[in-house]
């Protein structure tokens, strides 16, 4: 990967008010509301608050002055390079209050949906190339059969959709997280986007982890901004949902008091990964959930609706990973299965791999191995559960044995009787409780 890709991806900063492609009244009102709510009076501070370059902010301020909504305070602030201060006139305050009654939104100027579309293309998840090394490094802590990476690599590189299925406790969730970790690059997430005069907030600190803010000294403010500061530079986002996922979480969320919209989860995950864990545990049938994704997965666009009922298209640029403990044929019809590009079975380890994992974990945790105990585990214990090995079991058993040793005040050790005690915590017997 050449080093210039990040510069190509960065959204260019607007140079003039005409570049903004937003309704002029909307921009003016957001300016007034922000000055009113944040009590900022210097153009450099206002520019920071509305996330626009100083030159563009100055044009907005001049326009508001012509309309007698702002006035110069007449004091030059010596602390900030003799900058002129501005304040709202009475007419400006009235206008700010009226604008707040229509929508509480203030702060970062939104990015028009069409402009955002271009940015999504620049940083598309479809453009990322993941090498075997990157994937292996990100999965380093997991012991996986090599054939699994053969399947995962191309699936992730396509940026389409993946269904992982297989018995629980074998790391489907860890693998999903490993895929996320393998994507090392950054994307730009807008604070908010605008469509038809409505503001939809997108950046969400819970979903998006901002890259360290690049410190700007005063001289760098004079230079042109490196990218449009209406965006936040972030790691590629990951949204993980489980049994709590419902269809309405995939719709725009309208806040009636603030009169603004919040982007649904899949829009927040643009340029990243959306993981549906434990498919089949949701209230809605899996088929209904997958049907909701079909158009976005096939056409790279999603359809959202405003309060008014007006529908509009937004880009859909997300790697969707479904993970389930059910067999796909039990929960989907063939049409849905056809539309999920990659189906990958994640199985429990073989006895040989189970022992490998067991030995590695024991070594890492400082528990010496004991042959008699291992024979007891494999010959006496596992036959009681049809020799079903799972990736989570070594860690579970070893942690239990260590806790028992600490409680008994004995050095870390493995004995058949300790294996029995650890085992009894791993499975609860189906005993009939006498009422």
For residues 386 and 372, give the distance between their C-alpha atoms in angstroms, rounded to a whole number: 21
Q: Which residues contact 257 (CB under 8 A, 6 or more apart)?
A: 104
| Contact yes or no for 333/285 (Cβ under 8 A) | no
Three-state DSSP at 146 gives helix
Token pair of 263 as six digits = 């982007």
Q: Which residues contact 45 (CB under 8 A, 6 or more apart)?
A: none
Biggest CA–CA distance in the chain, Å, is 89
pLDDT-flagged residues of the chain (< 70) = 1-8, 75-81, 211-225, 428-435
* pLDDT (0 to 100) of residue 215: 44
For position 80, what pLDDT does the model report? 58
For the record, the structure tokens of 415 come out as: 């004995």
User: In degrees to the nearest 10, what's the CA dihedral of 31, 35, 38, 39?
Assistant: 170
Q: What are the tokens at 230?
A: 């209406």
CB 320 within 8 A of CB 161: yes
Closest CA to 316 of 292, 335, 336, 338: 292
The backbone torsions φ and ψ at residue 70, rounded to the nearest 5 degrees and listed phi first, read -130, 150
Instruction: Count H helices and E strands in the chain, helices first.
Output: 18, 16
Spatial CA neighbour of 250 closest among 213, 197, 294, 211: 294
Measured CA to CA, the distance from residue 41 to residue 283 in angstroms comes to 51
pTM for the structure as a whole:
0.82
User: Do residues 406 and 418 touch, judged by C-beta distance below 8 A?
Assistant: no
Whether 346 contacts 164, CB under 8 Å: yes
Q: Are 16 and 59 in contact (CB under 8 A)?
A: yes
42, with CB counted inside 10 A (0-12, 13-18, 19+), is middle
Going by the DSSP 8-state scheme, the letter that residue 17 receives in this structure is G
Which of 55, 58, 80, 78 has its CA nearest to residue 223?
55
Distance of CA 143 to the CA centre of its chain: 25
Measured CA to CA, the distance from residue 278 to residue 41 in angstroms comes to: 51
* Other Cβ atoms within 10 Å of 97 Cβ, number: 12
Instruction: Report d(CA 119, CA 380) in Å as an integer.
Output: 59
- pLDDT attached to residue 334: 85
């Amino acid at each position: 990967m050449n080093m210039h890709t990040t510069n190509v991806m960065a959204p260019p900063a607007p140079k003039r008010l005409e570049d903004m492609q937003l309704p002029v009244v909307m921009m003016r009102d957001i300016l007034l509301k922000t000055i009113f709510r944040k009590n900022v009076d210097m153009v450099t501070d206002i520019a920071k608050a509305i996330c626009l370059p100083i030159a563009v902010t100055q044009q907005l301020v001049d326009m508001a002055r012509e309309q007698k909504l702002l006035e110069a305070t007449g004091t030059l602030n010596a602390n900030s390079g003799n900058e002129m201060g501005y304040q709202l006139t009475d007419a400006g305050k009235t206008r700010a209050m009226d604008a707040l009654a229509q929508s509480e939104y203030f702060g970062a100027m939104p990015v028009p949906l069409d402009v955002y579309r271009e940015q999504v293309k620049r940083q598309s998840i479809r453009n990322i190339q993941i090498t075997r090394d990157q994937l292996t490094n990100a999965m380093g802590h997991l012991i996986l059969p090599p054939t699994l990476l053969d399947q995962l690599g191309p699936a992730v590189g396509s940026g389409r959709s993946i269904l992982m299925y297989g018995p629980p406790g074998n790391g489907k969730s860890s693998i999903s997280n490993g895929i996320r970790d393998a994507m090392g690059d950054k994307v730009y997430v807008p604070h908010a986007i605008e469509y038809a005069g409505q503001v939809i907030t997108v950046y969400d600190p819970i979903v998006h982890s901002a890259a360290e803010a690049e410190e700007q000294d005063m001289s760098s403010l004079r230079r042109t901004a490196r990218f449009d500061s209406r965006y936040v530079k972030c790691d590629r986002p990951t949204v993980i949902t489980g049994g709590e996922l419902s269809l309405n979480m995939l719709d725009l969320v309208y806040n009636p008091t603030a009169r603004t919209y919040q982007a649904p989860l899949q829009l927040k995950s643009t340029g990243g990964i959306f993981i549906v864990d434990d498919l089949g545990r949701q209230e809605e049938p899996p088929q209904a959930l997958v049907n909701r994704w079909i158009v976005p997965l096939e056409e790279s666009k999603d359809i959202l609706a405003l309060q008014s009922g007006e529908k509009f298209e937004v880009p859909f640029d997300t790697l969707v990973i479904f993970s389930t403990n059910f067999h796909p044929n039990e929960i989907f019809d063939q049409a849905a299965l056809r539309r999920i590009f990659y189906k990958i079975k994640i199985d429990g380890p073989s006895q040989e791999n189970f022992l490998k994992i067991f030995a590695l974990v024991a070594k890492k945790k400082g528990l010496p191995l004991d042959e008699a105990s291992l024979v007891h585990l494999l010959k006496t214990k596992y036959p009681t559960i049809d020799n079903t090995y799972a990736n989570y079991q070594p860690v579970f058993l070893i942690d239990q044995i260590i806790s028992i040793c600490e409680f008994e005040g004995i050095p870390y050790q493995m004995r058949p009787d300790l294996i029995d005690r650890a085992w009894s915590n791993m499975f609860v017997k189906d005993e009939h409780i006498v009422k």
